[in-house]
Amino acid sequence: MEKKKIDRRKFLKTFGVGAAAATAGLYGCKTKGTAPSAAAAGEVPTDRMTFRTCPSTGDRVSLLGYGCMRWPLLESPAADGNPIDQEAVNELVDYAIAHGVNYFDTAPVYIQGFSEKSTGIALKRHPREKVFIATKMSNHRMAGRGMSPARIFKDSEEMYRRSLRDLQTDYLDYYLLHAVGGDKGIETFNERFIDCGVLDFLLREHEAGRIRNLGWSFHGDQKVFDHLLAMHDSGEARWDFVQIQMNYVDWKHASDRNVNAEYLYGELEKRGIPAVIMEPLLGGRLSRLNDHLVERLKERRPTESTASWAFRYAGSWPGVLTVLSGMTYMEHLQDNIRTYSPLEPCTGEELALLEDTAQLMLKYPTVPCTECQYCMPCPYGLDIPAIFAHYNRCVNEGNVPKDRQDPGYREARRAFLIGYDRSVPKLRQASHCIGCNQCVSHCPQSIKIPQQLRRIDRFVEQLKQGTL
């Protein structure tokens, strides 16, 4: 089948942004569950990991942190519903620790609630003092449901104690107020942590040493970010670290869905608060650039992976304590270890190249989904992240039929629809969205999820009917 490319500006003018985003990449869209061959080959050092020091405790933390929200899964869940492949997790953890990784980040809500337990099993096989365990107070789903402050406190305290049990430890190295800044901003923050006494409880645990470092992760309203830093400045709460979303796109171009990382990092740096970085790959999108953008990076560093550029960028800022990566596959773990063993910071020219890459990326109308799964489970069974992932992969391919008269249109149409069915079971596709909006308040990227799903569904129907 011949792949016919057309000028993207002409395509957008002809079909509109919505059609472009759903149509682009009808050729060659990848299916879910395959490991992208993005890793560069070469030695994986065991003794050259870059470390950063946490000022509050003196912890020597690996610049590469292991995000535990994307552990490998079994083909069928275990009898207790646990979908995680524990044997594969153990192998990844053992390899990571042997190659210098010592920071592991999880949460009670990750992987249907089983991530902490799986992570605890894997880490228990190593000396406790050799690793730093980070988890979170994930009580965001308790807000806005009419629960009394006493009930929120009780359920939050139990969540904290269950984390200790599941992680098989009597103390936590890094503990976060999870995903502050969303929903109704400061009002929601107060409901989750202030009015119910949860923050006071965590501060007492911090003072007692059961929480060695206390911080928070941020998504959303800048007023909440500034409010928590004002608490730090006044001494109302002293934050040992803050987790922010940072990558070379979100550095200057996150205003439509979050806050620019340039501002977030700058405010933390002023106060000497170390930053823990999440989404360095923007949900994997910075490892799946279109061919033109990949070629520009390969011209500079021919043997290195596309992902390594994003990790080098995040690690180049001196106030960064660790950069989290949810590494499902061994080749991704190996590639990231190479990148940080040791880190070679980005030069001024490379920073300029990545900013230019970000600006070019923004011309491709993808959905800004990072596949974080916070919108899940959908009460009507949709696999929202998988729908968006298929859609974005196709956009990044950049190959589209102009219209039904375009050579290869029928083959391209068939390829897209088959790829969609392979990526997302039919009962979980966009056509089943009823617009209940329950997912919207949970999205850290502030995506108008039902509208995006309707747009994708309209395009799919056009393809099925052959009316595009």
The per-type count for the chain, helices as H runs and strands as E runs, is: 16, 10
- In angstroms, the CA 167 to CA 242 distance is 22
Return the structure tokens found at 114.
């089983």
- In angstroms, the CA 236 to CA 370 distance is 33
pLDDT at 289: 87
Of 104, 153, 138, nearest to 219 by C-alpha is: 138
Q: How far apart are the first and last CA of the chain?
A: 20
Return the structure tokens found at 465.
């009917």
DSSP assignment of 105-170: E--TTGGGGTHHHHHHHHHTTS-GGG-EEEEEE--GGGTTS---HHHHHHHHHHHHHHHHHHTT-S
Of 239, 219, 220, nearest to 228 by C-alpha is: 239
Are the CB atoms for 188 and 152 separated by under 8 Å? Answer: no
- In angstroms, the CA 24 to CA 364 distance is 9
What 3-state class would DSSP assign to 82? coil
Of 48, 87, 34, 125, nearest to 390 by C-alpha is: 34
DSSP assignment of 183-247: TTTHHHHIIIIITTSHHHHHHHHHHHTSEEEEEEEE-S-HHHHHHHHHHHHHTSS--SEEEEE--
pLDDT tens per residue across span 113-125? 999 999 999 999 9
Partners of 172 in beta bridges:
211
pLDDT at 255: 58
- In angstroms, the CA 420 to CA 394 distance is 10
Amino acid at 173: D
Return the structure tokens found at 456.
């994708």
Sequence-ordered list of residues with C-beta below 8 angstroms from that of 355, at least 6 positions apart, any chain: 248, 251, 252
pLDDT at 4: 36
Are the CB atoms for 107 and 136 separated by under 8 Å? Answer: yes
- In angstroms, the CA 245 to CA 314 distance is 10
pLDDT at 162: 98
Are the CB atoms for 455 and 405 separated by under 8 Å? Answer: no
Intervals of the chain under pLDDT 70? 1-41, 255-257, 365, 395-403, 408, 468
- In angstroms, the CA 218 to CA 245 distance is 8
Cα distances (Å, whole numbers) of residue 440 to 48, 246, 445, 448: 43, 22, 9, 6
pLDDT at 257: 61
Amino acid at 3: K
What 3-state class would DSSP assign to 61? strand
pLDDT tens per residue across span 76-104? 999 999 999 999 999 999 999 999 999 99
pLDDT at 124: 98
